[in-house]
Each structure stands twice: as C-alpha cells, then as structure tokens.
C-alpha cells in the first residue's frame, strides 16, 4: 500500500509483516542475553543510563496519549548511541581472545596491562558517517588498542576531528559510505586488522550481531523506565535506519520482551539513502541498493545497502517504511529544541530528529492518522540517536531556519 503524502514524504506498508510471532527468530535478543550485554557495558565507570522523557505538552498538541523520547545524546559523553555497539563488540572480541566469556569479565580487566600483554596490540578498523566511528575509536582507546577510521565523501570536518580526538587515525575518502566499507575490508585483510562494522556480508556476521546486541541494551533501559516510571507500553515506535542494525536491534528486543505484535514499528530514512523504502515500495521484499552520492544532512543514515541480518528482522516485524526529505529532519530538530510549555528541551542532531519530525508531519500536515492508527490512546516511542554532532550545522538549522519544510 502506497502511503505517499503530497510528494514530500513517501511511505509504504510492509506486506511481508509476519503475523505469527516466533521467539526463536529473536533468541539472540532475549532478555537474558541483553541483560548480560548491559551488565558488561555497565562495568565501564563512565556508564550512565540515558533519560527517557515524556513530552506531555507535545503529546496533547498532537492528539496522542504520550510521546516518550529516549535521549542518546548523553551517552558516555559522546553525543550519540553508537558507542553501545562498539564497546560491546570490541569487548566481546577481546574476551574471546582471552578464552573467557564476557559475562565473567569487566571492562577494567579487559583494559588492564596484563590483558594487553597477553593478547598483544590490535588495530580495529571501521567505516563510518561519524557516530559509529567515534564510538569504535573511543572503545578501542579505552581498552588500550588502536583504531583506524575511514569516512565517506562529504563528511563534515567537525565529525572527522571528533574521531581524531579519540586517538584514532582517521580520514575522509572520495567515495560514498558503501564504497568506504569496501576500502576498509581490503585494508583489514591486508594488515590483519579487526573489522568492526554494523553491517554483514558472507563470512562476516558475528561482529555485526554483537554490535546489534549492544544497541539492544538501549531498549532494555527503555522498557524498565516505561514500567517503573510511567506504567506504559509503547503502541508505536519510530526508528531511524541507515543499514538498519540499530532499528533491528531495538525492534528485536521489544518484540520478544512484550511478546506481542500489537506494537507498530515504523522505519524512517533519508530520501537520498532510502534503501529500505525502495526494497518494499515495489512489493518485492528483496534488498534494493541505493547508489551514488548521498548528500543528506542526515549523515549518520546515509547508507545505501541494508545489513542482510537486519533486513530479515525488519521484514518480519515492522509495519511500514518512510522516506523523508531533509526538511523533515530539520523540523524535528526545531521542535525538540523549542519545546512547548514545561516539556524538556532536547538537543537533537539531523539523524536523531527525523522520527519526531515525521510524527509531527503525519499528524499536522499529512492527514495520515488512519494509516498508522495513531490516536488519543497511542503511546509513541522515539529515540534521539544523536545530539549536535555538527554544532555549526545545528545552529544553521535551528537558529537560521536552514531546510525549512
């Protein structure tokens, strides 16, 4: 079903949604497994649970029961959620090198001189639009190891310098994100470096799974707050997708935790890198790759090739896929940064704000309520995946009105 709205926002309903829920599909994301992931992440002394905020005034304005925003801009002081995948994947890799289960070891033990002496120096390499690479660089440095990070053409200097400040060798390539991944694959093989990517390919699926499990612990934090502070269950979850690993990690945990298909998961992408929307828009349900330059302001989502592991999960468990112009992201940034009444101000970057921008647009501009069933009893969950990772561009958008709808 085409959900096109005034040719600005394009949506497609997922006709491959699996209405028979199978827990075995998501066993890697069981509460038991993700509890162990979070347990390890908490052993880092800088761990703090990020806040889940209820925007009551905005909820009333949009005619829904609740809008909950999980603010990942405060994660490990790195301004984005991505480190949750990197810290777990690298920690798990080092633990395996030691012949130990990560459940039995702490972050301090993995970074100790004794451990480094035993396993030797390692170099972790990754391709990134910004946040993932900074998380990898930070985790590698904190664990006494090295990192090399490559970034696609068009990456801002601010994001490059942020990664360099974490101690990584980093540079910007002259090709897009997916081609940058291929560069990293060749260098990893040539130099015997460890590739840490949140997308998979033939023969490379273990580390991407660990990264996705690292992301899932965010969902575990969310459900505990929803239960203990608000006594609520989400009815709709809006999630950003680049390669889809974050969205699949969150979706997997929520589906197995609530053991229900009543939750509608809505995937949101930039129109210039809308590989999930393209994959489902023509009712084929097969991976469709987007190529060429992807000059969206949503740099963290500019990925043209879905992660095959994530794709299969989202194909089974998501309701719909939306392709959004940059103006929708800019709208979300301004709404979150200029709250109504007593709602909390949230600093959200371009990739972090697009779900809220889409929700507002659908409710106030798109007249799309009946397609998603969003009404006065709906509990909406949104995750702000990043803060102002490019502070100059943030000001251009929020202060100067760049990218008006």
Domain ranges across the chain:
10-78+216-398, 83-207
Could you tell me the fold of the domain covering 10-78+216-398?
A: Rossmann fold (3.40.50)
Looking at residue 367, what is its pLDDT? 58
Alpha-carbon distance of 353 to 387, in angstroms, equals 9
Looking at residue 405, what is its pLDDT? 63
* Residue partners of 163: CB distance under 8 A and separation at least 6: 128, 130, 133, 134, 137, 149, 151, 170
Residue-wise pLDDT tens digits, 370-381: 689 999 999 999
Q: Would residue 261 show up in a list of annotated catalytic residues for this protein? A: no
DSSP β-bridge partners for residue 324: 270
| Tokens, residue 20 | 């028979």
Q: Taking residues 93-112, what's their average pLDDT?
A: 93
Asked if the model's pLDDT at residue 3 lies above 60, the reply is: no
Q: Does domain 83-207 have CATH number 3.30.70.980?
A: no
Looking at residue 284, what is its pLDDT? 79
Alpha-carbon distance of 290 to 282, in angstroms, equals 14
Residue 329 belongs to what H/E stretch? helix 326-337
Looking at residue 18, what is its pLDDT? 80
Q: Is 47 helix (H, G, I), strand (E, B) or coil?
A: coil
Asked if the model's pLDDT at residue 293 lies above 90, the reply is: no
Contact call for residues 258 and 31 (beta carbons, < 8 A): no
pTM given for the model: 0.94
Model confidence at 7, pLDDT cuts 50, 70, 90, reads low
Spot the catalytic one: 10, 70, 92, 129: 129
Contact call for residues 67 and 54 (beta carbons, < 8 A): yes
Q: Would residue 198 show up in a list of annotated catalytic residues for this protein? A: no
Residue-wise pLDDT tens digits, 165-213: 999 999 999 999 999 999 999 999 999 999 999 999 999 999 999 999 9
Spot the catalytic one: 10, 70, 71, 82: 82
Domains 10-78+216-398 and 83-207 share a fold: yes
């Amino acid at each position: 079903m085409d959900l096109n709205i005034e040719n600005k926002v394009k949506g497609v309903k997922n006709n491959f949604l699996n209405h028979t829920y199978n827990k075995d599909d998501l066993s890697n994301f069981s509460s038991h497994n993700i509890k162990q992931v979070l347990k390890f992440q908490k052993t880092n002394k800088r761990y703090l649970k990020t806040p889940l905020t209820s925007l009551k005034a905005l909820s009333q304005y949009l005619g829904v029961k609740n809008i909950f925003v999980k603010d990942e801009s405060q994660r490990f002081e790195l301004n984005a959620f991505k480190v949750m995948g990197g810290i777990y994947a690298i920690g798990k890799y080092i633990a395996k090198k030691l012949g130990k289960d990560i459940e039995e070891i702490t972050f301090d033990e993995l970074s100790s001189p004794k451990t480094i002496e035993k396993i030797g120096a390692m170099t972790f390499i990754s391709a990134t639009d910004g946040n993932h690479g900074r998380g990898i660089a930070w985790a590698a440095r904190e664990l006494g190891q090295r990192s090399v990070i490559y970034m696609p053409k068009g990456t801002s200097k601010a994001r490059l310098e942020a990664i360099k400040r974490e101690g990584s060798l980093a540079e910007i390539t002259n090709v897009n994100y997916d081609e940058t991944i291929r560069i990293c694959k060749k260098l990893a093989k040539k130099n015997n470096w460890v590739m840490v990517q949140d997308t998979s390919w033939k023969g490379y699926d273990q580390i991407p799974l660990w990264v996705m499990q690292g992301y899932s612990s965010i969902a575990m934090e969310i459900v505990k707050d929803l239960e203990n502070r608000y006594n609520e269950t989400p009815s709709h979850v809006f999630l950003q997708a680049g390669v889809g690993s974050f969205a699949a990690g969150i979706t997997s945990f929520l589906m197995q935790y609530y053991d229900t298909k009543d939750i509608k998961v809505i995937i949101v992408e930039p129109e210039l890198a809308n590989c999930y929307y393209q994959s489902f828009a023509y009712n084929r349900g097969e991976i469709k790759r987007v190529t060429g330059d992807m000059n969206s302001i949503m740099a963290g989502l500019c990925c043209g090739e879905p992660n095959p592991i994530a794709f299969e999960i989202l194909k089974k468990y998501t309701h719909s896929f939306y392709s959004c112009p940059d103006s929708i992201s800019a709208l979300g940034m301004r709404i979150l940064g200029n709250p109504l009444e007593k709602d909390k101000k949230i600093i959200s970057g371009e990739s972090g704000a697009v779900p809220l921008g889409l929700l507002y647009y659908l409710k106030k501009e798109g007249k799309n309520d009946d397609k998603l069933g969003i009404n006065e009893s709906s509990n909406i969950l949104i995750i702000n995946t990043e803060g102002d990772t490019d502070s100059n561009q943030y000001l251009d958008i929020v202060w100067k009105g760049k990218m008006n709808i």
